Amino acid sequence: MGCGQFLCYQVEALLATGKLKRVLGDFEPAPSPIHVVYPNARLLSPNVRAFVDFAVARLRANHRLVM
């Protein structure tokens, strides 16, 4: 037994079946369904780097984004 913090899609099925239970649900952070995933920096094309920089700046302005 133990406690953990998980993304909702990782535990959705377990919560639905009752195999997991929410603890301290009142303290859950607001959902932020946005992830920017890209390859290692040395393999990154300039176009992808420009998009990532643009997207992260916009996402941080509108959401609490943690990298």
User: Which tens digit of pLDDT belongs to each residue from 8-56?
Assistant: 888 999 999 999 999 888 988 777 667 778 777 677 788 988 988 898 8
Buried-state track 7-33, b at ≥16 Cβ within 10 A, e below 16: eeeeeeeeeeeeeeeeeeeeeeeeeee
Q: What is the pLDDT of residue 65?
A: 47
Contacts for 21 with CB less than 8 Å, ≥ 6 apart: 15
What global pTM score does this model have? 0.46
The secondary structure element, H or E, covering residue 8 is helix 8-17
